[in-house]
Amino acid sequence: MDELIIQGGKPLSGKVRISGSKNAALPILLGSMLVPGEVVISGLPELQDVGTTIELLTLFGCSCRREGDSVSIVAGSGLKPEAPYDLVRTMRASVLCLGPLLARLGRARVALPGGCAIGSRPIDMHLRSLEKLGASFDLDSGDILGHCERLRGAHVVFDFPTVGGTENMLLAAVLAEGETILENAAREPEVSDLAEFLNACGARISGQGTSLIRIKGVESLRNCRYTVMPDRIEAGTYMAAAGISGGDLQLENCPDWALDTVIAKFREMGLEVEAGESVTRVRSSPDLACIDIVTQPYPGFPTDMQAQFMALMCVASGSGMIQETIFENRFLHALELMRLGAQIKISGDTALIRGERRLIGAPVQASDLRASASLVLAGLAARGTTTVRRIYHLDRGYERMEDKLAQVGARIRRKK
């Protein structure tokens, strides 16, 4: 298994280009199954989950041709409602196959995703809302079997603004008969990006980016070309890298418009963030201070930036609190940060961080994607050598992270 070896203590400086968003790319790729003609999706990050999704599309019967950061997908008449368990099982986002397969074929079979390191992550809201459109589900050997006649528009009120649940509904309702109204829908920019992609294919979705989304069903969707939005969490992670290393970074292709809350929190800590025409400049300060954070659905503070802020707070002055309200078990990185000398106390869903620690390098183990990023960040600040193990998590969500960091001066290398 690969490891990252980091010699900390070097302020980063220079330009980093932000890649396309993983969490926007995956539902958009799966959404291409709704279109019988050719869809060309560009701006794709080179990530394992993107590769797995394209492989999945091929196994569902799509013809996919990849070229650079684009892929051409044709989901013609040979579409199949199921894919091999071993592949579907490796990626939680495969549950987003349900919407498009039910809409196109009236049948779908996907593996019921199990829990993962950050929480139990059920899909009850996906299934309940799809049932409102007329689908029914059975469980068969750990797989969900879905079937329906033509889906019919319905009024759905989510118990919680679930990102995946809202996406699955968009993917199903675009081809349903009549109008679907989603209340308490997720407002995340990646959900809006999916809606924009579907509209570019001829769907009639309005209200994306608000908690009330209307979808007027259409008979079929048409060919389109679409570029996925830049990755706001990758951008936020490099902002944290500038901060923790005492550096000065310029981020190209940075989606500032989707980072208001995150940028406000960085500024509250003392970072200088200047959004320009083509680059966003982020400068650290010797007077970084801990703050309090509560994770919330968008436009609140994102759970996907919680671990990175925790790393940054370990070296800032004073003490701060982080409350994680989205996932029930997303503090595993805290224990590893403590191996580097961080002082963190966890009580239920809240972490108390005492700052001003001098971190000292050590071997640490990544437990999930954002936890891995926080350990890399801590390694950039720590004295001596930090070895981050199990970085396959990182490879699922950050495009060439060690190359991008090395280009701006980090002493980091991958050991195979």
From residue 94, how far is each of 21, 33, 108, 109, 350 by CA, in Å? 17, 13, 11, 10, 31
Residues in contact with ligand EPU, shown as a per-residue x/- string from 12 to 41 under the rule CB under 6 A: -----------x--x---------------
- Candidates 93, 173, 242, 401; binder of ligand EPU (CB under 6 A) is 93
Tell me the C-alpha distance between 242 and 304, whole Å.
18
254 tagged catalytic: no
Look-up: residue for tokens 């901060």? Answer: 243
Residues in contact with ligand EPU, shown as a per-residue x/- string from 355 to 384 under the rule CB under 6 A: --------------xx--------------
Comparison of 190 and 402: residue with beta carbon closer to ligand EPU: 190
Comparison of 333 and 370: residue with beta carbon closer to ligand EPU: 370
Pull the structure tokens for residue 161. 């603004």
Tell me the C-alpha distance between 94 and 147, whole Å.
17
Q: Is residue 195 close enough to count as binding ligand EPU by CB under 6 A? A: no
Tell me the C-alpha distance between 361 and 386, whole Å.
4
Residue with smallest beta-carbon separation from ligand EPU: 164
Q: Is residue 165 close enough to count as binding ligand EPU by CB under 6 A? A: yes
Beta carbon of residue 397, minimum distance to ligand EPU (angstroms, whole number): 6
Active-site residue, selected from the candidate residues 62, 64, 97, 116:
116
CA dihedral 148, 152, 153, 156 (to 10 degrees): -40
Comparison of 333 and 357: residue with beta carbon closer to ligand EPU: 333
Burial 375-400 (b: 16+ CB within 10 A, else e): bbbbbbbbeeebbbbbbebbbbbbbe
Q: Is residue 126 close enough to count as binding ligand EPU by CB under 6 A? A: yes
Q: Is residue 397 close enough to count as binding ligand EPU by CB under 6 A? A: yes
Q: Is residue 180 close enough to count as binding ligand EPU by CB under 6 A? A: no
Beta carbon of residue 206, minimum distance to ligand EPU (angstroms, whole number): 21
3-state SS assignment for residue 64: strand
Tell me which stretch binds ligand EPU (CB under 6 A): 10-18, 116-124, 242-250, 279-287. 116-124
Pull the structure tokens for residue 160. 């919680």
Q: Which long-range contacts (CB under 8 A, 24 or more apart) does 14-17 make?
A: 14/249, 14/250, 14/407, 14/408, 14/409, 15/249, 15/250, 15/251, 15/252, 15/279, 15/407, 15/408, 16/238, 16/249, 16/250, 16/251, 16/252, 16/404, 16/407, 16/408, 17/251, 17/252, 17/253, 17/404
Q: Is residue 300 close enough to count as binding ligand EPU by CB under 6 A? A: no
Comparison of 350 and 407: residue with beta carbon closer to ligand EPU: 350
Q: Is residue 163 close enough to count as binding ligand EPU by CB under 6 A? A: yes
Tell me which stretch binds ligand EPU (CB under 6 A): 70-78, 177-185, 219-227, 297-305. 297-305
Comparison of 76 and 122: residue with beta carbon closer to ligand EPU: 122
Q: Is residue 299 close enough to count as binding ligand EPU by CB under 6 A? A: no
Pull the structure tokens for residue 385. 């050598």
Tell me the C-alpha distance between 313 and 320, whole Å.
7
Q: Is residue 60 close enough to count as binding ligand EPU by CB under 6 A? A: no
Beta carbon of residue 39, minimum distance to ligand EPU (angstroms, whole number): 19
Residues in contact with ligand EPU, shown as a per-residue x/- string from 318 to 337 under the rule CB under 6 A: --------xx----------
Residue 214, Cβ density class (10 Å: 0-12 exposed, 13-18 middle, ≥19 buried): middle
Tell me the C-alpha distance between 385 and 237, whole Å.
21
Beta carbon of residue 383, minimum distance to ligand EPU (angstroms, whole number): 29
Pull the structure tokens for residue 393. 């998590």
The residue ranges that bind ligand EPU (CB under 6 A) are 23, 26, 93, 119, 121-126, 160, 162-165, 188, 190, 302-304, 326-327, 369-370, 397
Catalytic residues: 116
